[in-house]
Amino acid sequence: MKKRTILTTILAFFLLAAVVAAGMNAVFTVTYVNASFLTYTAEGEAAAQQLKEELDQYLGRSTTFLDLEEVRATAQSNPRFDVISVEKQYPAAVTLEIVERRSAFALANDAGGYDVIDVDGNRIGESVSCSGLIELAGDFSFTIENGKLSGSYAQELLEAYSVMAELLGEPRANILTLSLEDNSATGTTMLDRFRIATREGVEITLREPSVRMEEKMRAGLERYLSLSQEERVRGQIIVVIRTDTDRATAEYTATAASVSGS
């Protein structure tokens, strides 16, 4: 009799646990995935709609046992987006805050199109043209390693863009191309150049870009912004570190047309 009572108690306990679990599952079930997107481009908006559909796979899952890292991984499967937050909202919702990465550069690829690179050097997509982006041209030999821009002068490029964003707001509105003149045959980087073509026509040339890039970029842009509209349509701004002052200086030279050399 005693054994039967113990067995009955155990069965009742498991039955109660099953009922409680079923009740919790019914109450704490994901019925709403609220993904809030901040997008900047038409491509981003289209990708956001697709990602919303992918996130619907979590509907009907247990809110209690849902792995938020799994949800985050799904949201980050598209490199175009950066996931700011993922949270459970009991009893029945999951909320996400997702931001489109800001595209900056266009890098020609082997397929005949362009890899789109964001402000942090991440590859976030492809484009058939470089329209609306700053084209990376000249002697740059960048590659994409694990989804990120890699190669000589990659860090200097991002440093230059950071200053551009600070002083120009939206660099793509002012800058057409950023190219490298690599004089590696000379055995020194001192003769290398960053050449920045503006939409108005004037070119900004940064000599020896591996040294104090941010300081040089700031000096060049401040000189550019000081020019009149007439001056901006032609000529060249050359930026160097002066030996006598150990400071970056930018000198503007007006010519009949925008030049490509110095």
The span from the CA of 57 to the CA of 77, in Å, is 14
Q: Reduced to 3 states, what is the DSSP secondary structure of residue 41?
A: coil
Q: Mind listing the pLDDT tens digit for each residue in 119-146?
A: 999 999 999 999 999 999 999 999 999 9
The span from the CA of 250 to the CA of 237, in Å, is 6
Region for 119 from its dihedrals, namely left if φ exceeds 0, alpha if ψ lies in -120 to 50, beta otherwise: alpha
What are phi and psi for residue 17, nearest 5 degrees?
-60, -40
Q: Mind listing the pLDDT tens digit for each residue in 79-126?
A: 999 999 999 999 999 999 999 999 999 999 999 999 999 999 999 999
Q: Mind listing the pLDDT tens digit for each residue in 3-56?
A: 555 555 555 444 444 444 444 455 579 999 999 999 988 889 999 999 999 999
Q: Which amino acid is at 233?
A: V
List the one residue out of 101, 103, 104 whose CA is nearest residue 79: 101
Q: Mind listing the pLDDT tens digit for each residue in 42-66?
A: 889 999 999 999 999 999 999 989 9
- What was the pLDDT predicted at 5? 57
Q: Contact, 102 vs 40, CB < 8 A?
A: yes
pTM recorded for the entire structure: 0.80
DSSP 67: -
Instruction: Give bridge partners of residue 116 from the DSSP assignment.
Output: 106, 125
Q: Mind listing the pLDDT tens digit for each residue in 183-232?
A: 876 666 678 999 999 999 999 999 999 999 999 999 999 999 999 999 99
The span from the CA of 186 to the CA of 192, in Å, is 10
Q: Mind listing the pLDDT tens digit for each residue in 146-179?
A: 999 999 999 999 999 999 999 999 999 999 999 9
The residue length of the chain stands at 262
- Going along the chain, which residue ranges are E strands? 32-38, 81-89, 93-100, 103-108, 114-118, 123-127, 134-138, 143-145, 148-150, 175-181, 193-198, 203-207, 236-241, 248-253
